Amino acid sequence: MRTKRRWLFLPVFLTLVLSMGRWAAAEEWSIAGHYAEACSCDAACPCVYGSPPTMGHCHEALAFDITKGKYGQTNLSGLKFVSTMEMGKGTWIAYYLDEKSTPDQRQALESIFKKLLGGFAKEDLGAKAVRISMASEDKGKARAVAIPNVLKFRVEKPAGLDGESPVVIANPGRHFIPMLTVARSTQDEFSDHGKNWSYKDKSGFHGEFSFSSSQPEQTRSDWQIGIPKLP
């Protein structure tokens, strides 16, 4: 009789073991792709050096085009993600998930980017599934990002001293992108959650990103302490 009872509990036990395996796998993730950023600081943004923002606070829009990514067994390749935020004064953050994503993909994106970006903000405005476009323009000279009725920005990289190659910041002190291409916004407009901004000829960056759960936590979040805490 006892043996029979043990067999009755075996399916439940196996289900729990398999579920635990899926949960563990979901903790392993990696994403890589193209990056674009626009902010309210003068170009190039002093925040990447640990200096105060130009205006005493910084309005930022960060866009990620994931060319290759996964979260456990969930494929994230081909999806886009955007975050808007205010640093220095109000410290709020909002998340925008690709409307093409499935519920599992949305949960994965939110989990990853809250680990990467959410540590500094006092106010989390939540996540929305929206249509996101991110395109390379003018033979790679510019990157344009748009969310209908929410966000539109375009950042264009100027030539450096040789008149051809872009200006770059390698190994920035306070940013998660290891090689930033300096850019300047031709448009940067945002309106959502009762918050809005409109800028032009301000700081922007292009870059390529590669993050994973195997990286030390510090290397993925050091940039968050680059903005001085203002009263």
Residues in the chain with pLDDT values less than 50: 2-26, 218-231
> Domain coordinates of the chain in residue numbers?
29-226
Q: What is the pLDDT of residue 220?
A: 45
Q: What is the pLDDT of residue 217?
A: 58
pLDDT for 145-171, tens place per residue?
A: 999 999 999 999 888 888 888 888 877
CA angle, corner 194, sides to 188 and 200, nearest 5? Answer: 15
Q: What is the pLDDT of residue 163?
A: 82
Provide the Cα torsion 175, 180, 184, 188; round to 10°: -50
Q: Are 218 and 86 in contact (CB under 8 A)?
A: no
Distant-in-sequence, close-in-space partners of 179: CB < 8 Å, separation ≥ 6: 168, 169, 170, 171, 207, 208
Confidence (pTM): 0.82
Q: What is the pLDDT of residue 25?
A: 44
Tell how strand 123-130 and strand 92-98 pair up. Answer: parallel
Q: What is the pLDDT of residue 52?
A: 86
| Backbone angles phi and psi of 219, in degrees to 5 | -70, -20
Q: What is the pLDDT of residue 143?
A: 95
